[in-house]
Amino acid sequence: MKRQKCCILYNLPNENALPDELDVLDQVEYVEHHLAKIGIETYRKAITSGFMTEMEVLRDEKPDFVFNLAESVDNKGELCYFIPAILNLYSLPYSGSPPEAMFLTTNKMLTYKLLRDAGISSPPAFYPSQIRSLIHGRKYILKPVWEDGSQGITAESVFIYDQCSEKDLSRYADSHWLIQEFIDGREFNITLLAGEKGPAVMPPAEIKFVGFGEERPEIVDFKAKWEEDSFEYKNTVRQFPDLNTKLALKLRETALKCWNIFGLKGYARVDMRVDKNETPYVIEVNANPCISPDSGVVAAITEAGMSFTVMLQNIIKDLNR
């Protein structure tokens, strides 16, 4: 029997790339190693700003399928949906979510609006030009609209709105920034994986902020995610706690609704904050989450007793065709 041939597609990190951009290379190696374990032949293709020509070459190579790990193009998150769109155009089967889901979930303001319209709790969001809609004395967080991996998020991103804030926020463009109410409470990451009977929800991971104190906001900012020598990185801990039945069900149902509303495929991660009343608020839907060995997705499937090779087999069964 002829072995399946897979092209592992990824975004080429720029020169002097930071850890968040370099992480994709760990993902490529990890996926490559485990695809070989299940008898699939692989080769790599890196995507750059010349992606149109590169994708034409890929079309002519005619792999059996593409494992899409492209998180950006030239380190610009708003271009990531172009890759599955072109794979669609060339009728190449590929892993992960389709272009519509990639576009909608990469744009955090569109994500918020769709969640709101679907009746799913998400912290109210505003463009910087709407700062007069903010409530004085209330806590907010400033986020990049298009980027993931905590790019552009620091401890200073969380603020209490006052007149001084109004002056500071006026310099941020609506095209690339949004302001969202900050939910003080617990933070959870929920991994979903395609299965024969629909998406399976992995055990909820809680992010614990150890010893942060009042001087540091309890968020997974860029330091917490990528700077290994920082206090934030060392003291942001992932755990899989025993949850009461009611909260566990709320997290599960909310994650499944997100999967269906956004048309996710293969695998995904939904991030939520839970307030003191145990109401989950969706803060991000990640249609192309990191799957490096130390990622939250891999931690979640491991907690569920699943191997990475089994995860890959499930993803391959759910290819876009």
| Those residues with Cβ within 8 angstroms of residue 269's Cβ, 6 or more apart along the chain or in another chain | 189, 190, 191, 192, 285, 286, 289, 296, 297
Does 233 map to a domain? no
Does 223 map to a domain? no
CB 145 within 8 A of CB 177: yes
Does 210 map to a domain? no
Same domain, 195 and 273: yes
Same domain, 196 and 260: yes
**Residue pointed to by tokens 């391959």:** 316
Residue 146 domain boundaries: 125-181
Q: How many helices (H) and strands (E) does the chain have?
A: 11, 13
Q: How crowded is residue 96: how many other Cβ atoms within 10 Å of its Cβ?
A: 28
| Those residues with Cβ within 8 angstroms of residue 268's Cβ, 6 or more apart along the chain or in another chain | 97, 191, 192, 258, 259, 285, 286, 287, 289
Same domain, 131 and 115: no
- Tens-digit pLDDT string for the chain (321 aa): 578 999 999 999 988 888 888 999 999 999 999 999 999 999 999 999 999 999 999 999 999 999 999 999 988 889 999 999 999 999 999 999 999 999 999 999 999 999 999 999 999 999 999 998 999 999 999 999 998 877 889 999 999 999 777 778 888 999 999 999 999 999 999 999 999 999 999 999 999 999 998 889 999 998 999 999 999 999 999 999 999 999 999 999 999 999 999 999 999 999 999 999 999 999 999 999 999 999 999 999 999 999 999 999 999 999 999
- pLDDT given for residue 1 in this prediction: 59
Same domain, 111 and 189: yes
Same domain, 199 and 307: yes
Same domain, 88 and 19: yes
* 3-state SS class at 9: strand
Q: Tell the burial category of 29 from Cβ atoms under 10 Å away from its Cβ (0-12, 13-18, 19+).
A: middle
Helical packing angle, 82-89 and 51-61, nearest 10°? 40
The domain that contains 311 carries what CATH number?
Answer: 3.30.470.20
Nearest partner of 180 among 250, 258, 113, 233, judged by Cα: 113
Nearest partner of 161 among 142, 134, 188, 181, judged by Cα: 134
Question: How far from chain centre, in Å, is Cα 156?
Answer: 22
Does 89 map to a domain? yes
What span, in angstroms and rounded, lies between the C-alpha atoms of 207 and 171? 32
- pLDDT given for residue 148 in this prediction: 80
Same domain, 297 and 192: yes
**Residue pointed to by tokens 């104190």:** 213
Q: For every residue of 254-289, which 3-state class applies, written as one string? A: HHHHHHHHHCCCCEEEEEEEECCCCCEEEEEEECCC
Does 71 map to a domain? yes
Task: Give the chain's domain count.
Answer: 3
| Those residues with Cβ within 8 angstroms of residue 83's Cβ, 6 or more apart along the chain or in another chain | 9, 47, 51, 55, 68, 70, 73
Does 218 map to a domain? no
Same domain, 173 and 86: no
Does 214 map to a domain? no
Q: How crowded is residue 257: how many other Cβ atoms within 10 Å of its Cβ?
A: 16
Same domain, 157 and 266: no
Same domain, 64 and 175: no
pTM of the predicted model as reported, rounded to 2 decimal places: 0.95
**Residue pointed to by tokens 């979930």:** 105
Same domain, 263 and 300: yes
CA 283, 143, 297, 22: dihedral to nearest 10 degrees? 170
Does 67 map to a domain? yes
**Residue pointed to by tokens 């968020």:** 219
Same domain, 17 and 57: yes
The domain that contains 12 carries what CATH number?
Answer: 3.40.50
Question: What does the longest C-alpha to C-alpha distance in the chain come to?
Answer: 69
